[in-house]
Every structure is written in C-alpha cells, then in structure tokens.
Amino acid sequence: MDSAVSGAVDDKTLASQSQWEFSCDLEVDYESEENASMVYAALAVDKELQPDKVRRQMSVGDGKLSVHFEAVEARFLRASFSAFVDILTLSTKTIEEFGSGMEL
C-alpha cells in the first residue's frame, strides 16, 4: 500500500487569511475499493475533538483513501494529523493481517 503526504501552508497576506490557515492532504492507495472503504468506515466514526479548531474531510475513490485537514494553528494540525495517522496505521495493519475475505 502506497501513501503520499503533502502539506501546504497558505502564503496569503494577513488581510486575506481565513480562520483555517493551515492545511494538509493525505492519500493512501489501498489498491482495492473494498479495503479503502473498510478503513474509511472504521475511521469515520471518530470525529475531531476540537471541531472549532480542526476540520477533517475524508473520501474514497479508485481504491484510495483521501483525507484533507484544515486547522487554525499549525500545532492543532500536527496533533490531529499525528493522531489520525496512528489510527490509520492500526487499521491498515489489521486489514493486511485479516483483510482477505472480510466484510464491512
């Protein structure tokens, strides 16, 4: 399973900055719509602990799980992304170990 991480911090002037100044995108290629959907279903139940400071949007397509994070401060983005990747890793390892023939 391949993964790609890209981060972006907008270089806008102070006058045009929005509340959600910091963002990061994560894409994991499970090479299977079924596996990507299983991970999505497992992770979708966990909502952000501070939705007024961090937003997370997930989607599945072409066997890939895509996640977009936005935050008001870099430290909130880092904490949210890090916690999410920990749970994502556990979900991915579970599918690698037991995924063959599993159903949602």
Q: What is the pLDDT of residues 43-91, one digit of tens each?
A: 999 888 889 999 999 999 999 999 999 999 999 999 999 999 999 999 9
Say which CATH number the domain at 85 has. Answer: 3.30.310.50
Residue 32 burial (CB count, 10 A):
14
What domain range is 71 assigned to? 2-8+21-98
Give the start-end residues of each E strand in the chain: 2-9, 22-29, 54-61, 64-71
Q: Does 44 or 1 have the greater pLDDT score?
A: 44
Query: What global pTM score does this model have?
Result: 0.75
In degrees rounded to 5, what are phi and psi of residue 3?
A: -135, 150
Q: How many domains does the chain have?
A: 1
In a domain, 15, yes or no: no
Output b/e per residue, 1-29; b: 16+ Cβ within 10 A: beeeeeeeeeeeeeeeeeeeebbbebbbb
Q: What is the DSSP letter of 72?
A: S
